[in-house]
Amino acid sequence: MILFPAIDLKGGQCVRLKLGDMQQATVYNTDPAAQAKSFEDQGFEWLHVVDLDGAFAGHSANGDAVEAILKATDNPVQLGGGIRTLDHIEAWLSRGLRRVILGTVAVRNPDLVIEACRKFPGHVAVGIDAKGGKVAVEGWAEASELGIIELAKKFEGAGVSAIIYTDIDRDGILAGINWSSTLALADAVSIPVIASGGLASIEDIKRMLQPDAQKLEGAISGRALYDGRIDPAEALALIKASKARETA
């Protein structure tokens, strides 16, 4: 079980959005690389990064900030936002990125995702962002008619390393993870699922460690960490204790 701290990039700064709205952005750090190092120093073992501008533009827009993050931390980094071609994927992986997250292109061109998994095994994740139960694309700005599980099943057996599932209706408002929808997705596919959107308190960490949620790879936390609603030491200690019980 992994707790992924999130760095969302807008204009080269570390921000958090409210309900996926680019006009409702709170700046938490003007130095994303320093934020990445801080998360590593706190004991986190992974980093989740989103190029928000890139998600809307359809190409990488905060490349300098991402490269600075990669240089600042030894932790593996997964990146989403504006990665739409095999060349984009190869370029980022060659710079030391551990995992790319494909969102819009997973809806628009699922064959590209399957090809990417073949070319870069273990390094491709799919981001499924849902609003009102339907998959959203283009930086959450457009809704599709695809259901969450319907899209996920397209990639069964393709070699996708993880599905990052975000409930946009809860993102950035500290409403708690949508556990019913997240666990239903995890039950429906064999691909590991990472919960995102709304993680609000240490109670969500405890919920994540319950037996029925053990199938998840982990969860992503943003605003709750930045606002101090979750103490990193306490959260990581709970996860470590849970792992120890599993292996005992």
The residue from 51, 53, 129, 204 that is catalytic is 129
**Residue 8 known to be catalytic:** yes
The residue from 8, 53, 167, 171 that is catalytic is 8
Distance of alpha carbon 154 from alpha carbon 137, whole angstroms: 16
Q: What is the DSSP letter of 134?
A: E
Distance of alpha carbon 151 from alpha carbon 126, whole angstroms: 10
Q: SS3 letters for 200-235? A: CCHHHHHHHCCHHHCCCCEEEECHHHHCCCCCHHHH
Dig out the tokens for 67 from the structure: 């490269």
**Residue 204 known to be catalytic:** no
Distance of alpha carbon 186 from alpha carbon 165, whole angstroms: 10
Provide the CB-side half-sphere exposure for 98 (13 A, CA). 16
Nearest to 66 by CA among 26, 108, 95: 95
Contact (CB, 8 A) for 28 and 57: no
Positions annotated as catalytic residues are: 8, 129
